[in-house]
């Protein structure tokens, strides 16, 4: 059994860091790294537009969490950030 925390969220975006590779703090299972929000050009409906975007990185101890499950978790985080109204359902 694990005691104490099992998950850390770290934010280097406040220092302007765009992306980084966070390191899991044993005995925790995961760490989520948040990068700076910046305007980026993206294609939407056949045209180029500017949107605020951020890089979010998840590092996981694969003895505890399978990579496929970690990818599903990141996909859900993305869905909720892009559609915050879903949090109200």
**Among residues 39, 45, 61, 66, which one is catalytic?**
66
Kindly state the DSSP code that residue 89 receives in the 8-state scheme: -
The tokens 């998950």 sit on which residue? 7
Kindly state the DSSP code that residue 4 receives in the 8-state scheme: S
Q: How many residues does the chain have?
A: 89
Q: Determine whether 66 is an active site residue.
A: yes
Q: Determine whether 45 is an active site residue.
A: no
Q: How far is CA 12 from CA 18, 21, 64, in A?
A: 8, 11, 25
- Catalytic site positions: 62, 66
């Amino acid at each position: 059994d694990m005691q104490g925390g099992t998950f850390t969220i770290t934010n280097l975006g406040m220092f302007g860091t765009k992306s980084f590779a966070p390191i899991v703090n044993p005995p925790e299972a995961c760490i989520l790294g948040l990068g700076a929000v910046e305007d980026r050009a993206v294609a939407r409906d056949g045209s180029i537009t500017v949107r605020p975007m951020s890089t979010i990185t998840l590092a996981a101890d694969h003895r505890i969490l399978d990579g496929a499950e970690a990818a599903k978790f990141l996909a859900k985080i993305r869905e909720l950030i892009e559609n915050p109204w879903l949090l109200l359902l």
